[in-house]
């Protein structure tokens, strides 16, 4: 600590080792175990039903398992009396048979159950969503690289992209390790994490650029420490208030949004960490200096012969 400046970059090597370990664990899990893809990607059946009163979801799961739907996902949504059932692809039965079978099971719980919606998602649709989701993420990273390169310098762009890839790998790896359902909602949370992390990184980088121009001759190590120290209060307040909302959503929002809330909670924590220790450390490793911000001076042209 020097004055009001905390030496964040002193711990950059420790943070690098920590991040590398997390990424290796995440990649190992994704490669060996894969993701527990939801019905949006694998295809299957979605059944929405309404009951007159709150029911025991575990009892419904048991009845579905006895009817040969052992892997059915059952959860509340909207209210305790609304139930959503997700089934894996059923190749041997047509839609009408599946609908009647599920209705019969739910009628054992309550005879007046209301079947509101039945949707069938084919495997080809799920495959298309996987490809489109992957392309969306790749396109986002490419456009971010171009934007940061034009706004700052290519070293900053590499730092920002490195931090974003770091965040995505760890977040996806967490869902692989926990084998939680990975569907379009979680993919949306991953993309939201990219946006949040990038915003935090850009705020830090903007201050780095200003201080490099104002403090010519200062080492990058000292300038970045000063920038982070100046921005840390703003970062903690922003992240803290966002986390309060997401924690409330995670604990009170029910099973329908719990995965989405968890993904954003982890994404914000990892994104805040990466904007401080990953993105900033990378531009130090890339040897950023004040010369990277030097404006090119036009040479005067002498009109005299």
Structure confidence at residue 154 (pLDDT): 80
Looking at the chain, the whole-number percentage of residues with pLDDT higher than 70 is 86
Verify that 109 and 131 share a domain, yes or no.
Answer: no
Q: Which domain holds residue 83?
A: 44-121
pLDDT tens for each residue of 84-141: 788 776 665 566 777 788 888 888 877 778 887 777 766 666 667 777 777 877 887 7
3-class state of residue 264 by DSSP: helix
Long-range contacts of 65-69 (CB under 8 A, 24+ apart): 67/101, 67/104, 67/105, 69/102, 69/105
The three-state secondary structure class of 8 is helix
> Of 121, 137, 170, which closes a domain?
121
What pTM did the predictor assign?
A: 0.76
Q: What would the pLDDT profile of 170-194 be if each residue is shown by its tens digit?
A: 999 999 998 888 888 888 888 888 8
Q: What is the mean pLDDT of the chain?
A: 80
Partners of 45 in beta bridges: 87, 120
Give 302's pLDDT tier (boundaries 50, 70, 90).
very low
| Listed residue (193, 270, 286, 275) closest to 23, CA to CA | 270
Of the given ranges (79-93, 102-116, 142-156, 236-250), which has the lowest mean pLDDT?
A: 79-93
Whether residue 199 contacts residue 160, with contact meaning beta carbons closer than 8 Å, is answered with: no
Q: Are residues 240 and 273 located together in one domain of the fold?
A: yes
For the cut 80, the answer to whether the pLDDT of residue 304 exceeds it is: no
CA dist 135 → 112, 125, 129, 160 (Å): 45, 15, 10, 19
Number of domains in the chain: 2
Do the domain assignments include residue 303?
no
Q: Find the range with the poorest average confidence among 22-26, 45-49, 101-105, 292-296.
A: 292-296
Residue 3 lies in a domain: no
Q: What are phi and psi of 114, to 5 degrees?
A: -110, 120
Residue 93 corresponds to which tokens in the numbers above? 């039965």
Domain-ending residue, one of 121, 154, 178? 121
For the record, the structure tokens of 177 come out as: 């390790």
CATH number at residue 104: 3.30.70.3400
């Amino acid at each position: 600590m020097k004055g009001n400046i905390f030496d964040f970059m002193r711990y950059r090597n420790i943070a690098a080792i920590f991040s590398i370990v997390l990424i290796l664990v995440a990649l190992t899990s994704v490669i060996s175990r894969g993701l527990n893809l939801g019905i949006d990607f694998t295809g299957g059946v979605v059944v929405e039903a309404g009951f007159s009163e709150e029911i025991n979801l575990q009892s419904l799961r048991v009845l579905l398992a006895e009817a040969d739907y052992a892997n059915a996902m059952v959860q509340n949504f909207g209210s305790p009396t609304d139930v959503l059932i997700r089934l894996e692809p059923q190749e041997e039965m047509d839609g009408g048979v599946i609908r009647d079978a599920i209705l019969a099971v739910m009628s054992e719980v309550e005879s007046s159950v209301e079947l509101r919606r039945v949707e069938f998602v084919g495997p080809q649709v799920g495959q298309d969503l996987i490809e489109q989701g992957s392309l969306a993420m790749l396109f986002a990273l490419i456009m971010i690289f171009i934007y940061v390169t034009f706004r700052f310098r290519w070293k900053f762009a590499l730092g920002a992209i490195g931090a974003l890839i770091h965040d995505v790998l760890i977040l996806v790896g967490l869902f692989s390790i926990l084998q939680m359902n990975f569907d379009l909602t979680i993919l949306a949370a991953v993309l939201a994490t990219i946006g949040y992390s990038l915003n935090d990184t850009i705020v830090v980088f903007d201050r780095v650029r200003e201080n490099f121009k104002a403090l010519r001759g200062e080492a990058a190590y000292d300038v970045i420490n000063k920038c982070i120290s100046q921005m840390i209060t703003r970062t903690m307040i922003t992240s803290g208030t966002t986390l309060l909302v997401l924690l409330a959503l995670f604990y009170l929002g029910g099973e329908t949004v719990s995965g989405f809330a968890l993904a954003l909670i982890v994404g914000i924590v990892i994104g805040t960490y990466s904007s401080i220790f990953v993105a900033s450390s990378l531009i130090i490793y890339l040897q950023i200096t004040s010369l990277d911000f030097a404006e090119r001076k036009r040479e005067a042209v002498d009109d005299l012969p």
